[in-house]
Amino acid sequence: MAVKIAVPVVGLLLVIGGIVVVFGVLQAWWSLPPGLVRVKATQPIDFPHSVHVQDAQIDCQFCHRTVADTEAASLPAVQQCYFCHQIVAKDSPEVVKIITAFENDEPINWIRVHRLPDHTQFVHDVHVRFFSETNKVAVSQVCSICHGDVGSMGIAEQVRNLKMRDCVDCHRGGYLQYLNDEASQLIRVAIDGIAQAEDDLRKGRDRLGRARLAGDAEEIAAREDTLEGDREALGAAQDRLGDAGLTRAPPTDCAACHY
């Protein structure tokens, strides 16, 4: 009898153990940045960002021209690479690949390093312009917030996990750490002011409702005056937020990125 009971028990333990292992692996994958669970992409042409950015002092927008104007950051066409390399290092084996592609009218099929799920949208121009204009710096100086110091990389790699938690944490206030002290303080004060004014408005409407139910004309008039002041306070706080470069606090609802 003991043997008959032991067999299903052992089987059950094996199943449970397998589930625990699978769950642990998935949890580890979810917690780690993709850069720790995937190898660096081998590109069709060796393109060292460090040589182009640090040595040649080429601005990011020279190659990624649409990053501040459209949702996606464009990659350079082979014609743009050829424009420089028909003269510069034209005998290099890697540059020969560019020249050959240009002469054969073939694209360079770069392998994407930073990839979001298909159901997630990231609008580059909104983020880039906000950090650039708020900090009063060039567009190329804000790329590192998400992409790391690409200009020093020989091979481009992903340095942030770019998972939902990363984006949500940033929208919930993490973005303030990437602003200069003045802008960060202005936005903090404005957002706190908006939150306080909205709370006062909610309480004021509730008090006005109770006054109307009670039929107290004097109390109704007083509550309406208070509400008007709360609306003005909310408007002033929203104006301060606009002065700091935001029309509203960064959204945290699902539709902000999934549409």
- Position 78 scores a pLDDT of 93
Q: At residue 38, does pLDDT exceed 90?
A: no
- Predicted local distance difference test score (pLDDT) of residue 8: 64
- Does the pLDDT at position 205 exceed 50? yes
Mean pLDDT, the chain, rounded, equals 85
157: left (phi over 0), alpha (psi -120 to 50) or beta: beta
Query: For residue 23, what pLDDT is reported?
Result: 64
* pLDDT value at residue 33: 47
Closest CA to 44 of 97, 93, 86: 97
pLDDT range class, residue 246, cuts 50, 70, 90: confident
If you average pLDDT over residues 44-64, what whole number do you get?
Answer: 92
User: What's the rounded mean pLDDT across residues 190-209?
Assistant: 91
Per-residue pLDDT at 225: 92
Q: Does residue 240 contact residue 190 with C-beta atoms inside 8 Å?
A: yes
39 pLDDT more than 70: no
Rounded to an integer, the average pLDDT of 186-194 is 91
- Rounded CA separation 221/227 (Å): 10
What's the rounded mean pLDDT across residues 125-152? 91
pLDDT at residue 15 greater than cutoff 80: no
* pLDDT the model gives residue 203: 92
Residue 27 has pLDDT above 80, yes or no: no
Phi, psi of 167 (to 5 degrees): -70, -45
Average pLDDT of span 30-43? 55
**Which residue, 143, 158, 156, 159, is CA-closest to 48?**
156
Query: Is residue 113 scored above 80 in pLDDT?
Result: yes
Q: Is the pLDDT of residue 42 over 70?
A: yes
Per-residue model confidence as pLDDT tens digits over 75-100: 889 999 999 999 988 889 999 999 99
Q: Is the pLDDT of residue 34 over 50?
A: no
